[in-house]
């Protein structure tokens, strides 16, 4: 992919375009059917109006419906972002203030709220463990231990950063 072969969505997510190429990119987007007043204005700039072009670019993207996804803190780059804090809290509570079963229910709620986390968080396995715990009273001690193991195996690094 060349610098000018990107969409507004890709540009809003951080695809780099040299400042001098922004007017040409804007012109190409117009040809491809994107349109807005600021995009037309950006397309009318010259390669030498780099500072103006760079300053306009985030507003152009927003006007096209693709606001710039900015990462203002290293926390925003972490896997699972704020969701991991909820999972970590639930795991930390195992055998202190919450039973493994109750902590697993909280983790399961988070996994269900964020579909991208379902598979990496082992949502199906955790749900199966909880269902079996409910149905098989004679195996609760064993299943409780499996729930503990599952919860303690969860790592933020198992999931790529959300973007």
DSSP string covering 3-33: TTS--HHHHHTT----GGGHHHHHHHHHHTT
In this predicted structure, what is the pLDDT of residue 2? 47
Please check whether residues 50 and 102 belong to one and the same domain: no
Please check whether residues 34 and 85 belong to one and the same domain: no
Tell me: pLDDT of 115 over 50.
yes
In a domain, 40, yes or no: yes
In a domain, 143, yes or no: yes
Q: How far apart are CA 77 and CA 95, in angstroms?
A: 31
Please check whether residues 99 and 150 belong to one and the same domain: yes
Tell me: pLDDT of 9 over 50.
yes
Please check whether residues 149 and 107 belong to one and the same domain: yes
Number of structural domains in the chain: 2
Please check whether residues 51 and 30 belong to one and the same domain: yes
Please check whether residues 96 and 59 belong to one and the same domain: no
Please check whether residues 58 and 83 belong to one and the same domain: no
Please check whether residues 55 and 89 belong to one and the same domain: no
In this predicted structure, what is the pLDDT of residue 1? 39
Please check whether residues 48 and 97 belong to one and the same domain: no
In this predicted structure, what is the pLDDT of residue 17? 79
For residues 133 and 154, which has the higher predicted lDDT (pLDDT)? 133
Please check whether residues 22 and 79 belong to one and the same domain: no
In a domain, 2, yes or no: no
Q: If you search the block for the tokens 């919450």, which residue do you land on?
A: 98
Please check whether residues 80 and 148 belong to one and the same domain: yes
Neighbours of 30 (CB within 10 A): 15
Full domain range(s) for residue 26: 8-63
In a domain, 3, yes or no: no
- pLDDT digits 0-9 by tens, 30-79: 999 999 999 999 999 998 998 899 889 989 988 888 887 655 555 555 55
């Amino acid at each position: 992919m060349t610098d000018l072969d990107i969409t507004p969505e890709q540009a809003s997510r951080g695809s780099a375009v040299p400042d001098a190429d922004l007017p040409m990119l804007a012109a190409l987007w117009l040809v491809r059917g994107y349109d807005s007043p600021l995009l037309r204005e950006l397309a009318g700039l010259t390669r030498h109006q780099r500072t103006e072009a760079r300053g306009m670019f985030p507003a152009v993207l927003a006007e096209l419906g693709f606001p710039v996804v900015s990462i203002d803190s290293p926390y925003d780059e972490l896997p699972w972002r704020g969701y991991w804090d909820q999972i970590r809290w639930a795991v930390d509570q195992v055998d202190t203030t919450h039973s493994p079963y109750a902590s697993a229910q909280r983790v399961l709620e988070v996994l269900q709220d964020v579909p991208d986390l379902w598979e990496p968080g082992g949502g199906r396995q955790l749900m199966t463990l909880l269902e079996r715990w409910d149905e098989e009273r004679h195996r609760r001690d064993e299943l409780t231990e499996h729930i503990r193991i599952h919860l303690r195996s969860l790592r933020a690094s198992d999931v790529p950063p959300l973007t």
